[in-house]
Amino acid sequence: MNILAPVRRDRVLAELPQCLRKEAALHVRKDFHPRVTCACQEHRTGTVGRFKISKVIVVGDLSVGKTCLINRFCKDTFDKNYKATIGVDFEMERFEVLGVPFSLQLWDTAGQERFKCIASTYYRGAQAIIIVFNLNDVASLEHTKQWLADALKENDPSSVLLFLVGSKKDLSTSAQYALMEKDAIKVAQEIKTVQRLCIPGALCPPP
């Protein structure tokens, strides 16, 4: 017998959550795609691709806060002690979207160079890529382009959803934050352009 706990209240979605800042958002859709709405209403979600389960990969430099981000989202916890992710880690989060059960697979990948090889074998088949950088470390923002290029080698750039996320805002002053945000918006715009062109290698040409 398979007894699952009820889906958490904040995981029941009847509408798309709105972005915090439009100019910083890579995706500004206001509502579900009409095909999704229609398929949910008619209980035929098998016809809208892999609607019942989606894979998200979280990539970025070491210690930028990928694990903390996932733990906050899934368990609402925060650990100030750093434990490097070895290879990959995995969380599953259950939702209900327009009345239909939906699961999000969250893949937490290692930022350390020596584990990159293992982690990258889990990049394939993602519906969303979250690239994380540290708001207090400009190099980590610069490196997001390489992380994205690597993740896009294993995925279809024309259909995967991309999110650029800055972490550790609590450690920056408002002046530092304002500067970093400007740079991050530029990178986000660059990412958008590259995705529109659908050229996986365009962000980081080979050396």
Ligand X SMILES: Nc1nc2c(ncn2[C@@H]2O[C@H](COP(=O)(O)OP(=O)(O)OP(=O)(O)O)[C@@H](O)[C@H]2O)c(=O)[nH]1
**Residue 114 CB, nearest approach to ligand X (Å):** 11
Go through 95-107 and write b for each residue having 16 or more CB atoms within 10 A of its CB, e for each that does not: bbbbebebebbbb
Given the complex with ligand X, which of 97 and 106 has the nearer CB atom? 106
- Rank residues 134 and 195 by Cβ distance to ligand X and give the closer one: 134
Say how far apart CA 116 and CA 150 lie, in whole Å: 10
Token reading at 111: 């930022």
Q: Given the complex with ligand X, which of 55 and 195 has the nearer CB atom?
A: 55
Q: Which is nearer to ligand X, 112 or 176 (CB)?
A: 112
Closest-approach residue to ligand X (CB): 111
Query: Minimum distance from CB of 81 to ligand X (Å)?
Result: 6
Q: Least distance to ligand X from the beta carbon of 9, Å?
A: 25
Which run of H or E residues covers position 44? Answer: none
The conformation of residue 93, written as its DSSP 8-state character, comes to E
* Residues contributing to the site for ligand X (CB under 6 A): 60, 62-68, 79-82, 84-85, 110-112, 167-168, 170-171
Q: Residue 120 in 3-state DSSP?
A: helix
Q: Which regions of the chain does DSSP assign to beta strands (E)? A: 12-13, 53-60, 88-97, 100-109, 128-134, 161-167
Q: How far is the CB of 78 from ligand X (least distance, A)?
A: 7
